[in-house]
Structure 1
Amino acid sequence: MIDSANNISSKVDLVVDICIVGAGAAGISIALELSGKGFQVLLLEAGTSQEDPATQALYAGEVADEKMHSPTDKYRHRRFGGSTAIWGGRCMPFDPIDLEPRSYVPFSGWPIGYSDIAPFFPKANNYLEAGRYEYDADTAFNPLAAPMVRGFNSERVRTNGLERFSCPTNMAARYQGRLQAASDVRVLLEANCTGIRLNSEGNAVDHLDVATLAGKQFKVRAKDVVLAIGGLETARLLLASNDVHPQGVGNANDVVGRYYMCHIAGNVGSLVVKGGVDNVRHGYEISPDGVYCRRRLQLTEDTQRQLGVGNMVARLHFPKITDPAHRSGVLSGLFLARNFISYEYGKRLKDGEGDSVGRYMRHLWNVISGPIDTLAFLTHWVAKRTLAVRKFPSVILRNKSNRFSLEVHAEQIPRPDSRVSLLPSKDALGMPQIKVDWRYSKEDIDTVRKTLRTFSEEFARSGVATFDFDEKSLEKDLLRFGAYGGHHVGTARMGADPKTSVVDKNCAVHGLPNLHIASSAVFPTSSQANPTLMIVAMALRLASHIQAKDCQARQEYGVAV
């Protein structure tokens, strides 16, 4: 059943087995997994099916440096489906090395091994509609399919890794029917959790405070509570719930909100592939199951260890869009339309070099002088993107020169002074707003520098291509737009030691066995990967744990399972 919290009588107590706060990728996945398992599940969602300005404004806050981080109400949506309503659909799993303790990555190492999460990836892939769980091009495609760069073979650099693309699936739109039909799942929209209230001993959740913008207030009591509200909002709610523990829930050791990570990203360098254009596969390929896929460059795990670098991938990208010297009508059209493109992508078309009249005119000339290419692109975009259910993921143009930049997406080292904290200011519901102070490290840039050097060495050795980049401007190029997008990682990290972590290996807050967290907030490290697939896989693992815990409790009390 799906209803509005405004239809709940004020001052009542709703009593359920499981209460999940947040109906995004994680929350919806957990609710569906627990349906039919003998639980009464309540799924609280702050928004409705559509974006609402007043609800979205509850995300407003401050950032320490606007050049380094997007405003707190950008690139995440307070609505049914969460940020899956706006995501690009890119899926890939974390790598085994990401979960390992690495001496050269401070604060690395997860309390679980790769074998603990691997069984949940295929089902997560299905929920996100990314097709078959196969992320190696050698097995995902026909064995005779051409490689990424013909003639390039390396024992240090992989080119067969894939990313797969969801439709992109809006989890609310896709699974609304199942949630509506489920007799054991109740979804309440417009329901904002404003407080986690512990018992007098401070060792369990007693109830949750819930409020609506229309003025309704009520409580929810549940045997188990799951916070599935993302990396920023998780820290906010835990810190603000400070009536029993003055530092906030789960924050006895001042860890909540710290170790905040995103990703290091940017377009750098110049890759020139020798020979004809058929020697390169740089665009999207369609897998046998009809899913868009794309290959990327990545150091092998052994090479990462040898160099002492974090994880990073690179995709072949077209020349710098903002420079009209590319003479592409399509790219110039994107530049001219950048104010009408979604916030995160549009801002990356503003390079800070100033918008001179001359540059505008050169871009306009590119559009005018290439009408056939522009018309062909628009026709393709309308057919394959605008009108398609499974959408063409992004702008990819046929490269006639075999010259590319590399689009970098790199892991960030966790650091405790990169953090989310509370402000004295309050939102419309009386909740403290947040301040984001995102910081990066010299080692983050070194990871990219050393990885790119290795790419250059391996391409030169192969004789099939050359890659050059400006080491002096690398940091500037990577940080031109600050932290990348909506990848909010690490603010309630997993670990065995409560002194350096917030949740245990089963995502239960230390000392609070009935409070769990399901989001990228629990990731101790950020990997090279966009986090959505990992978020859903971890959510499915948590649902399995909750079910197993309930079965064990019933057996201990002699109740039939």
Structure 2
Amino acid sequence: MKPRVVIVGAGLGGCMLAHGLLESHDVTLIERGTEPVDPRYPVVDVGRPAVTEPHFGTGLGGSTQLWHNGLIEIDEEIFATQWPLPKSALDPFYERAFPLLSGIQIGQVREAIEALRRLYVELGVPEGLLQGLYYPQWPRNVWKSLGLEGRVKIVRGDVVDFQTNAAGAIASLAAVEDGQQKQIDGDIFVLAAGGLGSPALLQKLAARLPLPGLRHAGCHYEDHPMGFVGEVEVTVPLYRLWNYRVPGTDGNLRLPFVVKRGGMHVSFQLRPAASYYRESRRERVGSVLNELRRNPWNPLHYLKLLRHWDDVLDILSFKFGIRLPTRNYTLLMCAQMPAAPELSIWGEEGVLKRRWQLSQDYQRDLGDSVRDVLAWLAPVTRRSREFPGWLDELRTGAHHSGTARMSEAAESGVCDADCRVHGLPNLYVCDGSLIPASGIANTGLTIAALALRLAEHLRSRTASYS
């Protein structure tokens, strides 16, 4: 008889883990949401407002129903300084996850990154840290792309409690749907409810089990501050490179410029602009382009483009490979954030609360980083400027992480290097909350790699017991 694994959350982490366990385990997925954005589960900001919405996705596939996931590896330096395991431990799973999310091998992209770096240098851009961000041509809802329909059991409901046994292990979960409570039994339990959802569930468990690691649930929060911070007019034809079509694929590669300030990595993407100086600039990171990527067949989105000329340039390159010879670019910043040691995510009165704050020292470092990147680009720049007031317009990247982070010991985090909650034999975490530091990387590829690594770990445990 196969061991029973119960996964809470049918987003990227939950679906990828289910995919990895189908042959070895009896898999049950618990999902509370019925739509990609479910108003029954609001998030209330008590710190800096998010602006970018939604905070997270619900339903089968989670946020992969909403966002066109850029694929990027977390930098090796971040692993070496802030993870309890080296990047080499995750590399085999990056290699397995990449084709599942893109349809191509990661080796093709790694080779293209090196080739593109050389092309930047040949154009006169000074050498520096250029980190590769690959966009598949089409987004993928992992529930559908992994073919999970009919292969795993789905339970609809909101997990509200845990039951433990005499040995101190989790015995079952209690889930509520339409006022009816049901009990879900299992042998192994995995929280994959996201960087906001999983810590709230662990806080429920902490009320029953006062384990040291559970005190960190909802703490050590990280997200990526994002925003347009300036613009440049360049003297070289960067339009040929900024959105590079990887040979043999339909996907695009971008190399953000990465500078370091205050121990943090801060990245800057070039985005083509219709002119150097505009009376108004884009007010939303999620702009019309993101709406088109999610739903390219809606004609209303194309009509909206008439009011967003910069997005016209962006989508012509991204979707159709047409590169108009502009020399004007805005700079989109995506910054690593120092982990907030205090409680930042918690459940209260039926809602999730999020405290997202940027210290004054950190804001000064961000300001210095903008000037750093403008100085870096100066050899290929005719003129440049920093936007006034951009710090006030920074918004969350919705890459919620760190809130059930992996650590060497329970004194500094929630989970061990195998994703298991410190002090519990059969409870694991498998989503963005597990990531102790992401640098400037979107978290999707790393979540998928961690899920495949956890699946291998659970399969090996099963084999050793049989």
> Fold-level match, TM-score > 0.5?
yes
Q: Which amino acid aligns with 2:95?
A: P
The residue correspondences of 1:245-284 to structure 2 (distance < 5 A) are 245=209, 254-275=215-236, 277=237, 281-284=241-244
The residue aligned with 1:21 is 8
C-alpha distance in 2, partners of 1:230/1:321? 40
Of the three residues 390, 393, 398, the one matched with 1:477 is 390
The residue aligned with 1:41 is 27
Q: Matched residue pairs, number?
A: 454
The residue correspondences of 1:282-321 to structure 2 (distance < 5 A) are 282-299=242-259, 304=260, 308-319=262-273
Cα shift readout 1:419-461 (whole Å, capped 9, x = no counterpart) = 01232x23xxxxxx2211111234543543444344333334x
Q: Give SS of 1:527's match.
A: coil
Q: Which amino acid aligns with 2:96?
A: K
Cα shift readout 1:271-301 (whole Å, capped 9, x = no counterpart) = 22115x46752234243222222232224xx
The residue aligned with 1:231 is 195
The residue aligned with 2:186 is 222
The residue aligned with 1:198 is 164
Q: Give SS of 2:334's match.
A: strand
Q: Give SS of 2:196's match.
A: helix
Unmatched segments (≥5 aa) in structure 1: 1-14, 102-108, 346-363, 386-390, 427-432
For the aligned residue pairs, the C-alpha RMSD in angstroms reads: 3.9
Q: CA deviation at 1:523?
A: 1.2
Cα shift readout 1:71-115 (whole Å, capped 9, x = no counterpart) = 9x82322211111000122111101111122xxxxxxx2111111
Q: 1:377 to 1:505 in 2, by over 3 A?
A: closer
C-alpha distance in 1, partners of 2:109/2:370? 22
Q: 1:31 to 1:321 in 2, by over 3 A?
A: farther
Q: Which amino acid aligns with 1:59?
A: Y
Q: CA deviation at 1:40?
A: 1.4
The residue aligned with 2:105 is 132
Of residues 126-135 and 88-97 in structure 1, the stretch that sits farther from structure 2 once superposed is 126-135
The residue correspondences of 1:404-483 to structure 2 (distance < 5 A) are 404-417=329-342, 419-423=344-348, 425-426=349-350, 433-460=351-378, 463-465=379-381, 468-470=384-386, 473=388, 476-483=389-396
C-alpha distance in 2, partners of 1:243/1:19? 21
Q: CA deviation at 1:410?
A: 1.0
Of the three residues 14, 20, 41, the one matched with 1:59 is 41
Q: Which amino acid aligns with 1:315?
A: Q
Q: 1:445 to 1:223 in 2, by over 3 A?
A: same
For the Cα contact (< 8 Å) 1:456–1:467, is it kept in 2? no
Q: CA deviation at 1:187?
A: 2.8
For the Cα contact (< 8 Å) 2:235–2:381, is it kept in 1? yes
Q: 1:16 to 1:318 in 2, by over 3 A?
A: same
For the Cα contact (< 8 Å) 2:73–2:441, is it kept in 1? yes
Q: CA deviation at 1:498?
A: 0.9
2:147 is the counterpart of 1:161: no
2:409 is the counterpart of 1:497: yes
Q: 1:271 to 1:136 in 2, by over 3 A?
A: farther
Cα shift readout 1:170-221 (whole Å, capped 9, x = no counterpart) = 1122233x442x4xx3233x233222222356x31121112212x4322122
For the Cα contact (< 8 Å) 1:22–1:45, is it kept in 2? yes
Q: Give SS of 2:263's match.
A: coil
C-alpha distance in 1, partners of 2:61/2:84? 29
C-alpha distance in 1, partners of 2:45/2:113? 44
Q: CA deviation at 1:544?
A: 0.9
For the Cα contact (< 8 Å) 1:91–1:130, is it kept in 2? no
C-alpha distance in 2, partners of 1:89/1:396? 22
C-alpha distance in 1, partners of 2:114/2:198? 43
The residue aligned with 2:124 is 152
Q: 1:339 to 1:482 in 2, by over 3 A?
A: same
Cα shift readout 1:514-559 (whole Å, capped 9, x = no counterpart) = 000001101111310111001000111111111112222x1xxxx4
Cα shift readout 1:35-66 (whole Å, capped 9, x = no counterpart) = 112x2121222234x44x7xx1332142113x
Task: Calculate the TM-score normalised by the size of structure 2.
Answer: 0.84
Q: 1:397 to 1:151 in 2, by over 3 A?
A: closer
Mark the structure with the bigger radius of gyration.
1
Q: Which amino acid aligns with 1:208?
A: L
Of the three residues 25, 32, 38, the one matched with 2:19 is 32
Q: CA deviation at 1:509?
A: 0.6
C-alpha distance in 2, partners of 1:243/1:457? 52
The residue aligned with 1:356 is none
Q: Give SS of 2:16's match.
A: helix
The residue aligned with 1:361 is none
Q: 1:125 to 1:443 in 2, by over 3 A?
A: farther
Provide the identity percentage. Answer: 23
Q: Which amino acid aligns with 1:527?
A: G
Unmatched segments (≥5 aa) in structure 2: 295-302
For the Cα contact (< 8 Å) 1:238–1:256, is it kept in 2? yes
Q: CA deviation at 1:228?
A: 0.8
